[in-house]
A and B are shown apart, each in its own frame.
Chain A
Amino acid sequence: MTTPSDQSDHGKPADGKRHIFDNPKNVWRIIYALHAICAVSILAEFFIHRHVYHSWESLFGFYGIYGFVACVILVLFAKEMRRVLMRREDYYDE
């Protein structure tokens, strides 16, 4: 899932061969496929009855929404943690 912008400074592959993700089109194909799968998994909820153990689960698309929100919170919070926790690599060697 290399983003196309990552490739800009690597026009020529180091070993002279072109690999599958050297072509940005292939990266975008995977990203589009992921969007399609996400859409299908949400739409599938119309056809598959979910047994609900807890009222929170009854929200339409609960697992998808929760997974997305959880990951965004996780990453953004972890990023903020860096302000407090991050030190130089040789921090403990001093």
Chain B
Amino acid sequence: MSSVAPFLVFFVGAILVAVTSGVPRAIILLAIPVIGAANLLGTAPGVGGLVSLFDYTLILVYADKLSLLFGYLFHLAAFIGVIFSLHVKDRVQPVAAILYSGSAMGVVFAGDLITLFVFWELLAVTSVFLILARQSQRATQAAIRYLLIQVGSGFLLLAGILIRAWETGSITVEPIALEGLSAWLIFLAIGIKCCFPLLHNWLTDAYPEATPTGTVFLSAFTTKVAVYVLARCFAGTELLVYIGATMAMFPIFYAVIENDLRRVLAYSLINQVGFMVCGIGIGTALAINGAAAHAFSHVIYKALLFMSMGAVLYRTGKINGSELGGLYKSMPWTAGFCIVGAASISAFPLFSGFISKSMVLTAALKEGHPIVWLALLFASAGVFHHAGIKIPYFAFFAHDSGIRTKEAPPNMLIAMALAAAICIFIGVYPWPLYSLLPFPVDYAPYTAEHVLTQSQLLFFSALAFVWLNLTHLYPPELPSVNIDAEWSYRKALPAIGLAVLAIGRRVRAVALRTATRVLRQIHAAIYRQSGPQGALARTWPTGNMAFWTTVVLAMVLILSYV
């Protein structure tokens, strides 16, 4: 292979970004994903970049259709993210974003589990700076929680890998049967990054606290890296079908009542990853293709939605639905791009979600999971409701908040326009994407019945929104937080800790009191015996002494004669 490892382009690039500024830095930032993509085009499928480590051979580059697809996708996402953040002046964010993108490439092309682990941890360590860069106390605390959980995932992964290497002698990235401790540890580690139910809260906690540009990068990489590893190692694991369906279902309820619009998008991110996890669990060629295609569509439209909300946050300093509204008047282009993203995530015909999500739904029905299919259909209607309508509606339309601001900066508009164009291109002409999928595609998205059924589903969902609004049944946007799994470690765990401390203090007090009483009693007893009035300290007359000495001597005398 004549090309270099894809992550190297980014890591070397990051060094150059760190030492330059102004226009040269902008050029380098833009060049990194372009050079990386050119490098990737020259990467032939197969194994490369072998490094020996003790008894093991590390495979830095393993390229096949699946890893190349994610590789192209991540280069595209990095390119869009770089354009969107060109106006950022500080030095930390661009360097972190490029290193983070490079780490994602590192995982995707890792041929062995040790390499995979190293980049898995680098993903966490590099991305946390995108949250810290917000420089607020909330963001710092969220960043610390984020880092702890991400590094925890890495710890589980490492434990799983080591046990697996010891048991099987293999460190190759390959399908793993979900049995035994090592497999479960690896599964759980991926599950954390993938946002399995109850393990998901780090994402909705941290992503909305990152900088306007940071969230765009964050939304693209970590979860999709986990989806990729899941597809590599656990494709066809039936448990994933149900985990995926749950992930698609529960976040939409939270999304409806969430006020922070970037947190709404974070919930819908989990909902979309649910479709991918479900497809991986079904495991047929159609389902895996669907999961991979949906990952591709999803990264672009989710980045587009986060960019539009990032632009709103950047311009107005606000992101709560309760404080926004009517922004289409000052930010018409951003509103338009946001609607394209909304149509794509809702899977409207001619937009990208339409040609990918339905592959997973069709596979679920074909493989005999009608309940799961119903759940996914429910989630499809729901995602249109909360991401497709709610996001653009409450930010750009709804009740006019009176906010008048400027349109987003040119670099942001260009990035959004590029993402919107890709969303429409994939939706209208999906065949180039289909040709990149891991299995040959035997699926036609544009049949009359598919267009009809999907249109019915979406238009009647919209009708429900209109009616619920007109009858004032729709819940208003309220400044609030909603309790989620994070409650366990942000409230319950500290509360338990405080309770344990309080109990400890009580025990200590009781123990001290008891010990004092016992010691006092002992002291009193000794005092009675040996104190000034004690029996042992009493003074005796000398006469007594002489008398008793005589008695003793007499006894000795008598005894010696007996």
- Write the residues of chain A forming the contact surface with B, with a CB cutoff of 8 angstroms: 1-3, 6-7, 10, 13-15, 17, 19, 21, 31, 34-35, 37-38, 41-42, 44-45, 48-51, 53-54, 56, 61-68, 70-72, 74-79, 81-82, 84-89, 91-93
Interchain CA distance A7-B241 in the complex, whole Å? 46
Task: Tell me whether B65 is interfacial, beta carbon within 8 Å.
Answer: no
Chain B min CB distance to A20 (Å): 8
- Chain B contacts for A31, CB-based, 8 A: 466
If over half of A's interface residues share one DSSP class (helix, strand or loop), that class is named, otherwise mixed; here it is helix
Known: A44-B452, A75-B473, A89-B479. A68 touches B461 (CB 8 A): yes
Contact A15 B253 (CB under 8 A): no
- Chain A contacts for B527, CB-based, 8 A: none
Known: A1-B393, A70-B382, A89-B480. A38 touches B257 (CB 8 A): no
- Chain B contacts for A64, CB-based, 8 A: 456-457, 459-460
Contact A38 B370 (CB under 8 A): no
Task: Give the contact-size bracket for chain B.
Answer: 35 or more
Task: Tell me whether B431 is interfacial, beta carbon within 8 Å.
Answer: no
Known: A48-B452, A64-B456, A67-B456. A72 touches B468 (CB 8 A): yes
How many A-B residue pairs have C-beta atoms within 8 angstroms? Tell me.
171
10 contacts between A and B (CB under 8 A): A38-B460, A45-B452, A48-B448, A50-B452, A54-B365, A67-B457, A68-B463, A70-B382, A71-B460, A79-B473
Interchain CA distance A68-B473 in the complex, whole Å? 14
Nearest A-chain residue to B486, judged by Cβ = A92
Contact B478 A78 (CB under 8 A): no
Known: A21-B328, A81-B257. A88 touches B481 (CB 8 A): yes
- Write the residues of chain B forming the contact surface with A, with a CB cutoff of 8 angstroms: 138, 252-254, 256-257, 328-330, 362, 365-366, 370, 373-374, 377-378, 381-382, 385, 393, 397-400, 402, 404, 448-449, 452-466, 468-470, 473-475, 478-484, 490-491
Interchain CA distance A64-B256 in the complex, whole Å? 21
Which of B400, B458, B475, B482 is within 8 Å of A13, CB to CB?
Answer: B400
The 3 lowest CB-CB distance pairs between A and B, nearest first, are: A71-B464, A78-B256, A64-B456
